[in-house]
Structure 1
């Protein structure tokens, strides 16, 4: 039996697997773009968003009298099968591609058309009954359907990061409460500063990451301004009057989110600033997250010659040559994810800058880059929370001893004996390897009762 069918496009005939729901233009993309291991079917949310866009389009076309009920019902059925995550293997094209996303749009058009054909009782490829271009793509072009689907997919995917970030906040906040009475020395420029609690340190970690939740959400909401109805360049050619507004309204209803038509479709078709802003938000989070992981690695350094203030959960032997060594592998892997996300932001910026005139043809790399950043950041946040944060313990007695022996506590005496005298005491303590406490008493600067009151670490943790 012949396992292929012949389909035709502008460039001529091409063999397509007979069982495939995709068609000739998808097959050309498979042949042309063998670039990465990232295929469209790796991102079901993108495929489902494409189906949602096509569903809104066919319902709008039907409402405006451009398509009959038979085609409308068949195309709607096909879109709903994709929304139910069926036929995902029919999207095998590379995410990195030329053509401004035309291959993605046509992959969706062809799969939907062939599912609709079978639903109507016709064979795949009999496009005279349901055409990928004339019916599924009616009143659209790649230049409005592709970015709209991409934006909706990114908006929905973004919830993964904010949900994971919220869980990480609560985990860090629980640790802050657990460590609220654990005294330690704060540090500036890696030098002893003033006392604080380990709880205050973890609370700062929690708050700095929590702040990124509304910021990322606000950037994601920019994706809900779409250019459906713009067709090729934003003039609306081949889309009927009222199509853009009606299609946006249907998508808003489907998603129960405030999807709206762009103010100016020409501007919106070439503009990629929402992608830049969102990539920047992920970069900002990555920088903060990496800093937290740097601090965790530093606080856990040792166990004999480092800070040794906290213990990270032991996850694997740390060396093939040094017995007993355990490395902070979870913060290390999160650091590396953050580096990748920071670099990805540069990719998005360069792709956005490369737009010319009425279109930016570099959106496929923007799509892959942002999906990758969302995926690996979400995984990293979850890994950090479950495999590291929740198992951290404090070396309480060691921390207390460090405070009592620190030169930094002399800062508390500044208002009492003055900066000059405090500096003199601190210098002498360092030179003679003696404690500030003993020197103050020896020089009769304060009584023991006064000194104990002023140097009690608990009295130095708040404003007074």
Structure 2
């Protein structure tokens, strides 16, 4: 069953079950590309804009009170997830996001009209352009929604997840602050560290990434709304941009403000590029964490085997009893994806022409995907890997005893060259460092025991 909806080009058949109108239906026809739909976080950010605009326009007399109320009620339903199936448009559409802006306009109008007269869709009493999109353009709505969606995702999902992983690592670091083990540089034996010190590096790396993400937020809080088509604010009443920013801030609980230069807000996306770079920094830290734990957990007989990672599932369809570092693999894969997304965002943000960047959908799709992946990855890795990992103290002690770089403690007593001779002798003849030192004649047993104390080398 279908009904007829119209736009400036002409009539279009729309399913009776749809709240949307002609422009959404055309987009479904002409942009049937891939399976990636516009993120619902972006859709709901657009709905928040429509709710804020209905309030502002209602207050200043740009909309009748009943129309304003209907728009706000329909927008609230979208925000509460009641109509998620009404937003099927693909990411791969017009570069300004016009079709998705109109999808939201049409769904809100279509639902508002159903609330008013029981008839889904149409343009009366609520018109998608004249009322829902009043004093707005896709060119300022979409970048505003990009900032809202990204800021909310960072604040509500990503930062708490980073904090959770930091806390999990910090707890393990404190628990094992006195467990001495062999340090490694260039993947070769080095002077000793504690397992707690080793883990503390990851906590600090995550703090650096978190700080970079927090430093990107002020740029996200600046909104393009009020710039309308090219940044001049044509067809928007005086003061509309600041009024919208204040209303959006009140509705979202985040400190949004009106962007000081609307031309830059429409034509460039540096604030999102900065955030993407910070997300890449986090991905780099997570890649290091995942790969180091994978190395430390390698074995269990033929690898380092200094850390026992949780055995969450069987690791092989052919090798019985095999367990793999799958959490490390998942985390490192998503880090690769985030790094790739950052590259795409950089290219897309650099390619805007004149008064409008027309790569907006791919920028926000990749950015929100990165935020979601990193947030889920931090949470998942903490509960399924960090919380359950255990050091193998005996294996660490054995490696420490067999290690050759404890010889570094002798440098200040017998000199670098004589210490190097001892290490070479131990390696070539398969001796312990103590045996080689005594055989060299450069020191006696008591001196070795007094000078080579791993717990004093930390």
Give the TM-score category using the shorter length: over 0.9
Q: Following the alignment from structure 1 to structure 2, what is the Cα–Cα distance between the partners of residues 229 and 316?
A: 53
Equivalent positions of 1:305-454 (< 5 A) are: 305-454=302-451
Match of 2:105 in 1: 109
Equivalent positions of 1:222-233 (< 5 A) are: 222-233=219-230
Give 1:444 shift.
Answer: 4.8
- Farther off after superposition, 335-344 or 368-377: 368-377
Equivalent positions of 1:161-310 (< 5 A) are: 161-310=158-307
Length-normalised TM-score, structure 1: 0.95
Cα pair 1:96 1:368 within 8 Å, conserved:
no
Q: Which 5+ residue runs of structure 1 have no aligned equivalent?
A: none
Q: Following the alignment from structure 2 to structure 1, what is the Cα–Cα distance between the partners of residues 329 and 450?
A: 42
Q: What do residues 317-372 of structure 1 show as CA deviations (whole Å, max 9, x unaligned)?
A: 33333333221111011111111111111111111112111101110111111121
Secondary structure at the aligned position of 1:120 is classed as helix
Give 1:16 shift.
Answer: 0.8
Give 1:447 shift.
Answer: 4.2
Number of residues of Structure 1 aligned to a counterpart in Structure 2: 457
Cα pair 1:155 1:221 within 8 Å, conserved:
no
Secondary structure at the aligned position of 1:14 is classed as strand
Is 2:66 the counterpart of 1:66? no
Cα pair 2:210 2:282 within 8 Å, conserved:
no
Is 2:148 the counterpart of 1:152? yes
Secondary structure at the aligned position of 1:72 is classed as helix
Cα pair 2:114 2:121 within 8 Å, conserved:
no
Match of 1:20 in 2: 18
Equivalent positions of 1:2-21 (< 5 A) are: 3-21=1-19
Length-normalised TM-score, structure 2: 0.96
Give 1:108 shift.
Answer: 0.7
- Farther off after superposition, 316-325 or 24-33: 316-325
Secondary structure at the aligned position of 2:3 is classed as strand
Cα pair 2:95 2:360 within 8 Å, conserved:
no
Cα pair 1:154 1:220 within 8 Å, conserved:
no
Q: CA RMSD in A?
A: 1.6
Cα pair 1:230 1:244 within 8 Å, conserved:
yes
Q: Which 5+ residue runs of structure 2 have no aligned equivalent?
A: none
- Farther off after superposition, 344-353 or 88-97: 88-97
- Farther off after superposition, 360-369 or 86-95: 86-95
Match of 1:88 in 2: 84
Cα pair 1:410 1:436 within 8 Å, conserved:
yes
Is 2:72 the counterpart of 1:76? yes
Q: Following the alignment from structure 1 to structure 2, what is the Cα–Cα distance between the partners of residues 190 and 122?
A: 71
